[in-house]
Chain A
Amino acid sequence: MTEEAIFAGFGGQGILSMGMILAYAGMIENKEVCWMPSYGPEMRGGTANATTIVSDTLISSPIISNYDTVVALNQPSVDKFEEKIKPNGTIIYDASNILRPPTRKDINIYGVAGSEIAIKLKNIRVLNMIILGSFIAARKTVKPESVYEALKKVLPERYHHLLPVNQKAFEEGMALI
C-alpha cells in the first residue's frame, strides 16, 4: 500500500502539521514515510502545502505529479490540485470554506463541514485535526491510535493539555465521513 497525499491550504491553518502527524503515525506503524513541505514566503500567510507519502515499500520521489488524495482547506488549493488527483483518487475539502467545489466524476469527493465542527468545539485551531480525522476515516492509511501517539510527538510538551481537545476533534472529523 502506498498513499501519496498532499495537504494544502492557507499558512496558519495547520497544514504542515497535518502531514507531519500522518508521517509520524506512519512511522509508528513501521511504514516508510516522507514529508515534503513548501517552504519560504508562503509559510507566512500565503498558500502552504505538504506532500506526505506513507508506504509499505521504499519511497522513490518526494516530488510527485499526481496524488491519491488531496486535502484542501481553501479554494486555491481545490482549484490547483483537483486536476492532479489520480483516477479513483480522493479529495477531502472543508465545505464551509469552499464556494466552488470539485466537479470531477472519476474521483471520490468528500466535502466535510470541518469549520462548523471547529466552531462547535469553540476552537477554530483544531480544524486541521477534524479534517485529518475525515482523511483517516476515508483512507484508513494508519490507525487512529497511531495518530494519537503521533500527536504527542508533534505537539510540544507545553501544549500537551490540548491533547484531549485535539483527539476529540479528530474523532468528530472521522464521524463526518
Chain B
Amino acid sequence: MHRLVISGSVLALILTSACASPSVQHAAASADHSAQATGHSAAAAVTSVATVSAVPVVAAGSVLAVTGAALESVGTASVNAGAEVLNAGLGNAPQQICVGNTPAPCVAPQAAPNLE
C-alpha cells in the first residue's frame, strides 16, 4: 500500500511538467526542493509588471528589434498563479472527430503540404 501511494505521488508530480504552466512547475519543484523553490520565488517576485496588451506585428525585413517592455525578466506570474497571464481563450472541446480508438480520418486527406 505504501509503495502504491509513493508511486502514485511521484507520477502525479511528474505529470505537472507536461505543458505545465510556470506556477505548476514551481509547485512541483517545491515539493522536493522547498528551500530552493522558496528562494527562487522570492527572487522572481521582485520583477515585471503586468502586460495589458500584446498585438502581433507583421513586420518586414530580416531584422526585428526587441525593446522596452518586451525585455521582461521572470515575472510574478511565474510564481503567483494566474496573476499576470492573459487568457487567449478557453476554447470548447471540438466535436468528437474520430470516436474511440480509431485514428483513421473521418474525411479524405488533402495532398501533402506545399507552400509553392
Please determine whether chains A and B interact with each other in the same assembly.
Answer: no
Residues of A within 8 A of B (CB): none
